[in-house]
Chain A
Amino acid sequence: MTRTIEPKHPRAIRWFHWINFPLISIMIWSGALIYWANDVYRIGLGNFTLFHFFPDFFYSLTGIDERLAEGMAWHFVFLWLFALNGIAYVIYTAVSGEWRYLVPNARSFREAIQVTLYDLHLSKTQPPPRKFNGAQQIAYSSIILMGAGSLITGLAIWKSVQFGWLTALLGGYPAARLEHFLLTLGYCGFFFVHIAQVIRAGWNNLRSMISGYEISGHDIQEEPQKEP
Chain B
Amino acid sequence: MSDELDRQMARLTRRSLLVGGTAALAGGALWQWIRTRRLDNGVPWPLRVGLDTDEELSRDYFRETRLVRTFPPDAAESGRPNGTVGIEDDIAPDWKLHFGDMALGLADIQSLPKTVMTTELKCIEGWTRVLQWGGARFSDFVAQFYKDDLNPDQYVALETPDGEYYVGLDMASAMHPQTLLCYEMNGKPLQPQHGAPLRLVVPLKYGIKNLKRIGKIQFSDSRPKDYWAERGYDWYAGF
Interface residues of A (CB under 8 A from B): 3-5, 14, 18, 22, 26, 34-35, 37-38, 40, 68-70, 72-74, 76-77, 80, 158-162, 164, 167-168, 172-174, 177, 207, 210-213, 215, 224-227
Residues of A within 8 A of B66 (CB): 161-162, 164
Known A3-B5, A18-B20, A224-B6; further 16 A-B contacts with Cβ < 8 A: A5-B9, A37-B126, A73-B50, A77-B54, A160-B239, A161-B69, A162-B66, A167-B69, A173-B120, A173-B122, A174-B128, A207-B9, A210-B16, A210-B17, A215-B5, A227-B1
Q: Which of A37, A38, A69 contacts B231 (CB 8 A)?
A: A69
- A177 CA / B13 CA spacing, docked (Å): 42
- Residues A212 and B16 in contact, CB atoms below 8 Å apart: yes
CB distance from A55 to the nearest CB of B (A): 18
Given contacts A164-B66, A173-B120, contact A76 B234 (CB under 8 A): yes
19 contacts between A and B (CB under 8 A): A3-B2, A34-B126, A38-B127, A69-B43, A69-B228, A70-B232, A73-B51, A73-B232, A76-B51, A76-B54, A77-B51, A159-B58, A161-B238, A161-B239, A172-B69, A210-B17, A211-B16, A224-B6, A227-B1
B91 at the interface (CB under 8 A from A): no
Report how many residues on chain B are interfacial, defined by Cβ distance under 8 Å: 49
Q: Is the CB of A38 within 8 A of B126?
A: yes
Closest Cβ–Cβ distance, residue A22 to chain B (whole Å): 6
The answer to whether A69 touches B232 (Cβ under 8 A) is yes
Given contacts A72-B234, A159-B239, A207-B13, contact A35 B126 (CB under 8 A): yes
CA distance A22 to B58 in the complex (A): 26
- Picked from A70, A159, A168, A215, the residue with its CB within 8 Å of the CB of B69 is A168
CA distance A40 to B51 in the complex (A): 27
Q: What 6 pairs across the A-B complex have the smallest Cβ distances?
A: A38-B126, A69-B232, A77-B50, A37-B125, A161-B239, A73-B47
> Which B residues are CB-close (under 8 A) to A37?
124-126
- Interface status of B42 (Cβ within 8 A of chain A): yes
Q: Which of B118-165 contact A (CB under 8 A)?
A: 120, 122-128
A-contacting residues, B16-44, CB 8 Å: 16-17, 20, 23, 27, 31, 42-44
Q: How far is the CA of A136 from the CA of B124 in the complex (A)?
A: 39
B116 touches A (CB below 8 Å): no
Task: Find out whether the CB atom of B126 lies under 8 angstroms from the CB atom of A164.
Answer: no
Specify which of B5, B17, B23, B43 is in contact with A73 (CB 8 Å cutoff): B43
Q: Complex: how many Å from CA A211 to CA B204? A: 49
Q: Which residues of A contact B1 (CB under 8 A)?
A: 227
CB distance A161 to B67 under 8 Å?
Answer: yes
> CA–CA, A225 to B5, complex, Å?
12
CB distance from B123 to the nearest CB of A (A): 7
- In the bound assembly, the distance between CA atoms of A63 and B43 in angstroms comes to 17
- Known A69-B232, A173-B120, A210-B13: A162·B61 in contact at CB below 8 Å: yes
A84 to chain B, nearest CB (A): 14
Q: Does B68 contact A (CB under 8 A)?
A: yes
Provide the residues of chain A in CB contact with B43, threshold 8 Å.
Answer: 69-70, 73
Please, what's the 1-or-0 string for B43-71, where 1 marks a CB less than 8 Å from any CB in chain A? 11011101100100010011100111100
